[in-house]
Amino acid sequence: MAVIRSPCASGRFGPYVKCGKINATLPPNLDMDAITLTEAVVLINTRAAKGPARKKAATAKKKSTAKKKPAKKKPAKKTAPEAAVE
């Protein structure tokens, strides 16, 4: 005998039903505990018919200017050791 779970889940943005990769949000007039399996299937089918959600358009990125490398430091000049004073 198959175990039937509640077709609804409570998520960040409210209750929803899920079938595979398709999530369908419950309308505010439907109670999460009172939804039937047939109502859940109807919600999933209408959501699947709409297709995937559009992604937000990428914001225009500024062109990065070429960064200049820092100037190389010249090695310090070596001085001759001072003569020992007697």
C-alpha span between 24 and 33 (Å, rounded): 15
pLDDT at 67 over 60: yes
What is the three-class DSSP state of 10? strand
> What is the residue extent of each domain of the chain?
8-50
**17 and 45 in contact (C-beta within 8 Å)?**
no
Q: Report the largest interatomic distance among the alpha carbons of the chain, rounded to a whole angstrom.
A: 108
User: For 6-63, how does the pLDDT look when each residue is reduced to its tens digit (9 = 90+)?
Assistant: 678 888 888 999 888 888 889 888 888 888 888 888 988 999 998 887 777 766 666 6
Residue-by-residue DSSP string for 29-58: TS-TTT--HHHHHHHHHHHHHH-SPPPPPP
Against a cut of 0.95, is the pTM above it?
no
